Amino acid sequence: MRSRRGIEEFSVSFLDVICCGFGAIILLLMITKTVEPILLEKSNQNLQGQVQQREQALFEIRGQIRELRRQINSSSSDLDTKLTQLADLKRQLQQILGQFDNLSEAQEDISTESLQLAEAKQSLTDEMQRLLGMDFKRSSGLVGGITVDSEYIIFIIDTSGSMQSVAWPRVLQKVSETLSIYPQVKGIQIMNDMGDYMFSRYAGAWIEDTPALRNSIITTLQTWAPFSNSSPVEGITMAINTYYDPEKRISLYVFGDDYTGNSIEEVVEAVEAVNVMDERGRRRVRIHAVGFPVYLDRPNARVYRFAALMRELAFRNDGTFVGLAE
């Protein structure tokens, strides 16, 4: 009896233990199944938050990349602009250097021309001395300025081919300017260097000074081209012999560029013979002269002779010689 009872107690205890173990397992399983969804849900929420943060960070990084690219492109554009400006500055510098070289060459040319001009002046002086003769002397110093106290004016104009082809526009200008410094005179006459009259109907007479006749003189002068031998001697002597009057104040204006004669002294003496001094020591007429720069680019003895002749004639006959520049 005692053995059987012992077996029954053991079986009941064993069953209790087994039941308690299964109960614990079931309890654990229930706890596990209840907690797991909550943890998973929290875990999902955390992951979504991290994903959003990463996406936000990615967007910010992409924005920064775009800004950096824009800055790089802008810098590249600025660099291209700077390089273009630098190229322009280099080109301008080359131009300035070229202009400087040209100016330097021009300065050298000016210095050379100045030297040539000085040599030409010296040659002119030497040529005048040779043509006038070693014993030729002047009675006094040079006269400066043109005296405009005359009541009658006569133009003696060289109508040679060189004057017509090169200097004629300036001849028209200087005749107009000369007339303008005499607002009103008592008589005008126009002759060429050979003594031919512009207006044959006024030969030996005076042209009345009126605005209409002054305009007619300038208009006719534009196409006036009688024969000329480039020597003013004939015109000067004819004008003095024809128009001298002790009661009249007369000025001759000789326009020319060349003298084809041989002896300056003979011409000076021939003019002095007809343009004698009066009792007050004054010449019958004043002789002014204007030299035109036709042969300055190729100077020769004829140019020197004309300048020497007209300077001496003007000096000895109470006038002035003016040599025009180009």
Rounded (10°) angle between helices 168-180 and 211-221: 170
Give the integer Cα–Cα distance in Å for 55 and 92. 55
**Amino acid of residue 258:** D
For residues 60 and 63, give the distance between their C-alpha atoms in angstroms, rounded to a whole number: 5
d(CA 119, CA 112): 10
Second CATH level (architecture) for the domain 152-323: 3-Layer(aba) Sandwich (3.40)
Residue whose token pair is 């534009």:
222
* 253: nearest Cα among 314, 323, 186: 314
| CB proximity list for 199: less than 8 A, separation 6 or greater | 190, 207, 220
Per domain, the residue ranges of the chain are 152-323
Question: What are the pLDDT tens digits along the chain (326 aa)?
Answer: 555 555 555 566 777 777 777 777 777 776 665 545 555 566 666 777 777 888 888 888 888 888 888 888 877 777 888 888 888 888 888 888 888 777 777 777 666 665 555 555 555 555 555 554 555 444 433 333 577 778 999 999 999 988 898 889 999 999 999 999 898 999 999 999 999 999 999 999 999 999 999 999 999 999 999 999 888 889 998 999 999 888 899 999 999 888 887 788 888 888 888 888 877 778 889 999 998 877 655 555 566 778 888 899 999 998 999 888 76
275 and 285 in contact (C-beta within 8 Å)?
yes
Q: DSSP strand E in the chain: where?
A: 152-157, 187-192, 250-256, 285-291, 321-323
CA dihedral 80, 81, 82, 85 (to 10 degrees): 120
Rounded to an integer, what distance in angstroms lies between the CA atom of residue 195 and that of residue 284?
18
